[in-house]
A and B are shown apart, each in its own frame.
Chain A
Amino acid sequence: MNSAAPSYLLPLLQLSDSALPTGAFSHSLGLETSLHRGQVHDEATFADWLTQFIRIQLVHSDGMAIRLALEADTEAGLNRVDRELHAAALPREVREAGVKMGARMLDIALAVAPSAGLGRYADAVARGECAGHPSLAFAVAGKSLGVPLGELLTTYLFSTATSLTQNAIRGIPLGQSAGQRVLRAAHGEVRDAVVLIQVLERGDFGVTAPGLEIAQMQHERQRARMFMS
């Protein structure tokens, strides 16, 4: 019996590949500050950091942005999500990481899964009306491909967790097997995050936590750095 995969599966796999050249390998998003302080130094402490990062930033910023982008039924609605996401990133390096990786993700998505919606978002970024963010380029591409929200969120969150784990493997350093154990253990956290993102209220968009923000701000002043954020 034939069982065809949905037509969106291959583009989705390509766009959620953690090795996608968006520059994610050079952004620790605050992890490097915790490494520098000695708070993250092994498999267990990195797993703890990753859990908190998923619960704070991936749920309330990237994840909610994806959901709100799918819910937006006008271009103005999408632009508002972009504006709020950018404004909610107070630490300068996190804001700049979003813009840089957003531009790369847009280019790649336009090549992998071109659509009118993606073209309009790219134009809004080029005009300066939108700042651009990888989660939104990913969401707009996924929306035109017809990817269900749960799959779109799961792949984006897990891809980001994988990129950060690869950065931890280089930065701590950690063995490849340890990295895979952390990622396997993160399955439950990602599953919970996907459910949570779908029940949060609009006012939860962009919520963050002081400890993470301070680490992300302090990174600007760290002397020896492997990462840009």
Chain B
Amino acid sequence: MTAAVTSAGGGPAFPRSLPAQSAAGRLGLLGASSGNTGSATVGRLAEPSPWAGTLSLSIDRRGDKSIAVRQHHAGALRILRPHYLDGSGQVCYVVINPGGAYLGGDRYLIEVDVAPGADLLLTTQSATKVYRTPGSRAEQHTHVRLGAGARLELLPDPLIAYREASYRQVTTVDMDPSASFVMAEVLTPGWSPDGKLFRYDEIRLRNEVSVDARLRVLDNLLIRPRTGSPVDGMSFMDRHTHLGSLLVMDARVDGVLVDELHTVLAPMDPQGQLGITLLDGPGLALRALSRSTEPLNEILAAAVDLLRRRWHGQENLNLRKY
């Protein structure tokens, strides 16, 4: 999973050789993964822009509806006009990447502020594709601030990483204890020309959630499949290729809800690769592995829909893509 993984010959249980390249050496270029949540704001909107695309969105309530009171985009990120999918007043914005894919050296910055009592569903128009990033990597940094009673559902389409892609995604959330945050995502390998899966170089997915300025969740995954690597090992991907994740931070989460979600979702997981757990915060985390995208989308949608119904009286989410 880390540089140590690259040393594995696949066969012997205890390979002795060290990796030729350390993670620090390979990845020391930007240091953007620093645990310091303030670090990525350094140089923000500086000239010339270090970002291939930026998007900044501030949501507030106007009457019984939420709406962007400020939005700004530059470079290869755009946002579609707002939609209201139901009568709840929740506003839905769709992020689009006109370039269609992330390439090596591309860095994207998304900043989202949801004011007290406002309600945002943020999604994407299509899958985020990361193509070859030779000698480099693509990055996406998302910073979220949620005021008292604010809500964000962050439900992007799957992330597809192609052959020789390296990608780092860092999402930081600073939220009020009365705010609600739901994030679901699916990671899938793109097909290589040789018809094989799992040929991307490295994916890092890091989520940091602070409640009342105290770090509560540091969700830090690194998947680095290589020829001969033990990514198939039972503790890594266990011979699966697709990963689904759900992170919920909300004061209403408790052990009873976690049990209920498990009861609903477990029958949808024929391969027995579903884990769900209660977080401090409070909140919950869900992970699932599969060999295709669909079962993961179904499990995550069922979980999101249950929360929408339970907490907000909303119907099941139907994201028609505009």
Q: How far is the CB of B300 from chain A (nearest CB, A)?
A: 14
Q: A37 to chain B: which residues have CB within 8 Å?
A: 272
Q: B276 to chain A: which residues have CB within 8 Å?
A: 217
Q: Do residues B22 and A52 form an inter-chain contact, with CB atoms below 8 A?
A: no
Among B17, B19, B35, B272, the residue within 8 A (CB) of A205 is B35
Q: How far is the CB of A209 from chain B (nearest CB, A)?
A: 5
Q: A87 to chain B: which residues have CB within 8 Å?
A: 208, 215-218, 280
A23 to B307, CA, bound (A): 37
Q: Do residues A200 and B24 form an inter-chain contact, with CB atoms below 8 A?
A: yes
A202 to B30, CA, bound (A): 12
Q: A221 to chain B: which residues have CB within 8 Å?
A: 262
Q: Do residues A51 and B13 form an inter-chain contact, with CB atoms below 8 A?
A: yes
Q: B16 to chain A: which residues have CB within 8 Å?
A: 188, 192
**Which residue among A55, A60, A216 has the maximum number of chain B CB atoms within 10 Å of its CB?**
A55
B264 within 8 Å of A by Cβ?
no
**Which residue among B13, B23, B220, B223 has the maximum number of chain A CB atoms within 10 Å of its CB?**
B13
B178 within 8 Å of A by Cβ?
no
A115 within 8 Å of B by Cβ?
no
B34 within 8 Å of A by Cβ?
yes
- Closest-by-CB residue of B relative to A61 is B220
Given contacts A90-B217, A205-B35, contact A196 B277 (CB under 8 A): no
Of the 9-residue stretches A41-49, A117-125, A133-141, A168-176, which lies at the interface with chain B? A41-49
Among B27, B234, B285, B287, the residue within 8 A (CB) of A52 is B234
Q: Do residues A206 and B218 form an inter-chain contact, with CB atoms below 8 A?
A: yes
B130 within 8 Å of A by Cβ?
no
Q: B204 to chain A: which residues have CB within 8 Å?
A: 203
Q: A52 to chain B: which residues have CB within 8 Å?
A: 230, 233-236
Q: Do residues B277 and A91 form an inter-chain contact, with CB atoms below 8 A?
A: yes
A73 within 8 Å of B by Cβ?
no
Among A55, A203, A216, the residue within 8 A (CB) of B35 is A203
Q: Do residues B234 and A49 form an inter-chain contact, with CB atoms below 8 A?
A: yes
Within 8 A of B (CB), among A189-216: 189, 192-193, 195-196, 199-216
B5 within 8 Å of A by Cβ?
yes
Q: Do residues A215 and B235 form an inter-chain contact, with CB atoms below 8 A?
A: yes
Q: Do residues A196 and B22 form an inter-chain contact, with CB atoms below 8 A?
A: yes
B257 within 8 Å of A by Cβ?
no
- Closest-by-CB residue of B relative to A195 is B18
**Which residue among A48, A193, A217 has the maximum number of chain B CB atoms within 10 Å of its CB?**
A217
Q: Do residues A56 and B1 form an inter-chain contact, with CB atoms below 8 A?
A: yes
Beyond A88-B219, A196-B3, A211-B234, 11 extra complex contacts between A and B, CB < 8 Å: A30-B235, A84-B215, A87-B218, A90-B279, A91-B275, A203-B220, A205-B35, A207-B1, A207-B220, A209-B235, A217-B285
* 29 A-B residue pairings within 8 Å (CB atoms): A34-B235, A40-B234, A49-B235, A52-B233, A55-B5, A60-B220, A84-B35, A87-B215, A188-B15, A193-B4, A196-B4, A196-B23, A199-B24, A199-B25, A202-B31, A203-B27, A203-B35, A204-B2, A204-B33, A206-B218, A208-B221, A210-B221, A210-B237, A210-B238, A214-B273, A214-B275, A214-B287, A217-B276, A217-B285
User: Which 6 A-B pairs give the minimum distances between C-beta atoms?
Assistant: A203-B33, A217-B275, A214-B275, A52-B235, A212-B235, A87-B218
Interface residues of B (CB under 8 A from A): 1-5, 7, 13-19, 22-25, 27-28, 31-35, 204, 206, 208, 214-223, 230, 233-238, 243, 262, 272-280, 285, 287-289
Interface residues of A (CB under 8 A from B): 30, 34, 37, 39-40, 44, 47-49, 51-53, 55-56, 59-60, 80, 83-84, 86-88, 90-92, 95, 185-186, 188-189, 192-193, 195-196, 199-218, 220-221
